[in-house]
Structure 1
Amino acid sequence: MDPIVYAGVMSARTTNAALRTWLPWTDRQGRFSALRAVAFALLLVPALMLLHAAWMQQLGSKPWTQAIHQTGTWTVRILIATLAVSPFRRLFDWGKLIGIRRMLGLGVMAYALGHLALYCIDMAFDWGLIVSEIVKRFYLTIGFVALIGLVAQGVTSTDGMIRRLGKNWQRLHNLVYPIAILALLHFALQSKIDVTEPVLMSGLFLLLMLYRGLYRWKLPVSLAVLAGVALLGGLLTACLEAGWYAATSGVSAWLVFQANADILTYQDYASIRPAHWVALAGLAVAFGHGLRARKARPPRQAREPATARTA
């Protein structure tokens, strides 16, 4: 083969291989990954649902406001899912799960930027008004700070930035936890009266932090311990909900906390609260971890029959 033609063929192959690694449904070796493909498809679902609702004029009398709220809600949901990757990878011994963390993080950034873009559209791109609103309204201020943090996390998520920043990269990306707290606070303040989902997301965040604490302090991880963590997460969520309503609306914290027991006292299963969902999610994780650990345990070798003793 002519050397020039050969060089062109090899260059094309190298380019194609490099492009394959950038596809969202391929792994670092350019091979198709079902896990990454599913994660990418799920990331697109909320945007497609929102576009469909807009096309069908199902966003109500204030479509831009509704779209802003939905993109913000999905930003928080995907952020919680992103934070779940590391503990779930350990709990379920699922190494491949780490391969979708960057994709999920970029999804969080994309929905957050969409959230801001829709807000700017709703404000008719009146930059003076937009800036003044962000400065004057506390929930917008912390939301904007969280957005800046998410963008910084997304921009520095590439391999090149990891090499450039060195140890500082880990320090920067550890800020995702205070960023998540700001995002959750923004979510709750924006929701005003009904904070059911913000409390639920906050409870799941607390549960993930408890999992993180187990590994950070090298505590034993077993079915019983994880079940206890699940119940503790539910209890903390109930306390958080009670404290929030007491602080923002003056409702008795004890009455709100006591409402979590209605499902047992009155068997009112329609009154399931965020604390219950958090506890159930934690118990599901504990059960899944127990099954995974049991399957991973090597089978016991059959005992050899004892040899008869000679007289």
Structure 2
Amino acid sequence: MLAFPWLDRAGRLSGLKLATFLAALAPGLWYAAAYGLDRLGAKPLTAFLHAMGDWTVYFLILSLAVTPLRRVADWPKLILVRRMLGLTALAYALIHLVLYAADQKFDLVRVATEIAVRIYLAIGFVALVGLAVLGATSTDAMIRRLGRTWTRLHRLVYGLAVLALVHYVLQSKIDVSKPVFWSGLFLALMGWRLMHHLTVPTTPLSLLGLAAAAGLATAALEAAWYALATGVPAGLVLAANLDLSAGLRPAWWVFGIAALAAPLNLVRGKPDGRRGSAPAWRPSLAALAPLRAGRTEPVSRTGD
């Protein structure tokens, strides 16, 4: 039976899944239209290529945000879109690679050579291969076939996210504001997982503490990058983070976004000190039950 991405397991229309599906399509369609209308600047193919790489990272980080957000906000149904977000990240990564090949006139020997000799391209390619493996093994049949090995395999998504972010930073070269911002959000999400693993209750106060720690870590990350890559003293970068007259640095944006979890938890959530957290695209035990019973209906919980 053909399962459309906007339907829930019972075959009913899911507003959440439909909205996520449309949001997943929107960036690709917008940039494809802008490219076709020659509205992407002097180097339209390069702009298209970079945008698809950016959105790969965005959707990958969003897929990792599903589990923290559904627990912070006590929103169980959010799990329905986790696999979709992960597969969307993979789709944009593949488009990114195809556009890179197009930028190289589809000279595959040259493409392979560039990937082999340029470290940031090699890192990005490894991340792409890893995402492809996770995507190929996210089906119900592969979950049954791999068993517990599947769970260990899909924990690799955390390392793949690090590789994708490193590729993003290196590709950006001078202005790393956007990759530093997304790296900061990744640190916040991993910080929540550490809290959860250590059974620190998810409360507004603990979430504010996490937001502050993530903001400080983001500022330190930005300072370290500029110190190593350009020789700018780390102290000057840290001072720039405190000078709000020039605009908000990534650290402040990370703090502000992460801090939104506190009032969200206060209004909707409940303290949660349970141990452990699932990797990206990992279904819950409840979702695995039909598979263990030998049934093949789609699993809708997939990703962390």
Same fold (TM over 0.5): yes
Matches within 5 A, 1:80-91: 80-91=61-72
Kept in 1: contact 2:204–2:261 (CA 8 A)? no
Give the structure 2 partner of residue 14 of structure 1: none
Corresponding residue number in structure 1 for 2:108? 127
Q: Report the Cα distance in structure 1 between the residues aligned to 2:222 and 2:80, rounded to whole angstroms.
A: 34
**CA distance, structure 1, for counterparts of residue 199 and residue 161 of structure 2:** 24
The residue aligned with 1:260 is 241
One-letter code of the match for 1:48? L
Letter paired with 2:10: Q
Aligned residue number for residue 75 of structure 1 = 56
What residue is the counterpart of 1:95 in the other structure? 76
Q: Distance in 1 between matches of 2:269 and 2:257?
A: 18
Percent of aligned pairs with the same amino acid: 51
2:256 to 280, 289, 295: 280
Matched, 1:114 2:95: yes
| Residues in 2 aligned to 1:232 and 1:195: alpha-carbon distance in whole angstroms | 20
- CA displacement at 1:165 relative to structure 2: 0.7
Residue number in structure 2 paired with 1:25 = 6
SS in 2 for 1:58: coil
The TM-score with structure 1 as length reference comes to: 0.85
Counterpart CA distance in 2 for 1:160 and 1:96 is 23
Checking the alignment, whether the CA contact within 8 Å between 2:71 and 2:269 is kept in structure 1 is: no
Spell out the pairing of 1:133-212 with structure 2 (5 A cutoff): 133-212=114-193
After superposition, the C-alpha distances for 1:84-110 in whole angstroms (9 at most, x for unaligned) are 011111111111111101111110110
CA distance in 1, matches of 2:5, 2:29: 17
Q: Which amino acid aligns with 1:155?
A: A
Shift of 1:51: 1.4
Shift of 1:208: 0.3
Q: Which amino acid aligns with 2:249?
A: R
Which ranges of structure 1 fall in alignment gaps of 5 or more residues?
A: 1-17, 295-311
* Matches of 1:276 and 1:293, distance apart in 2: 24
Tell me by how many angstroms 1:118 deviates: 0.5
1:46-65 aligned at under 5 Å gives the runs 46-65=27-46
SS at match of 1:51: helix
TM-score, reference length from structure 2:
0.87
Separation in 1, partners of 2:136, 2:261? 32
**Number of residue equivalences:** 270
Q: Secondary structure in 2 aligned to 1:260? A: helix
Secondary structure of 2:116's partner? helix
What corresponds to 1:226 in structure 2?
207
Q: Which runs of 4+ in 1 moved over 2 A?
A: none
Corresponding residue of 2:195: 214
- For 2:293, the equivalent position in structure 1 comes to none
Partner of 1:246: 227
Give the distance between the partners of 1:51 and 1:144, measured in 2 at CA: 23
Equivalent residue letter for 2:69: F
Q: Which has the higher contact order (CA 8 A, sep 6+)?
A: 2
- After superposition, what is the alpha-carbon deviation per residue over 1:232-272, rounded to whole angstroms, capped at 9, x for unaligned? 10000000000000010000001101111112xxxx2x510
Q: Distance in 2 between matches of 1:293 and 1:90?
A: 7
Return the letter of the residue paired with 1:63: P
Give the Cα–Cα distance (whole angstroms) in 1 for the partners of residues 249 and 54 of structure 2.
18
Question: Alpha-carbon deviation of 1:127?
Answer: 1.3
Q: What amino acid is the match of 1:81?
A: L
Alignment-mate amino acid for residue 154 of structure 2: H
Q: Which has the larger radius of gyration?
A: 1
CA contact (8 A) 2:120 2:167 kept: yes
CA shift, 1:55, in A, is: 2.2
Q: After TM superposition, give the deviation of residue 293 of structure 1 in Å.
A: 3.3
Aligned match for 2:218, one of 225, 237, 247: 237
- Indicate conservation of the 8 Å contact 2:35/2:45, yes or no: no
Structure 2 unaligned regions, length at least 5:
271-304
Deviations 1:100-135 (A, max 9, x none): 011111101100000000001111111111111000
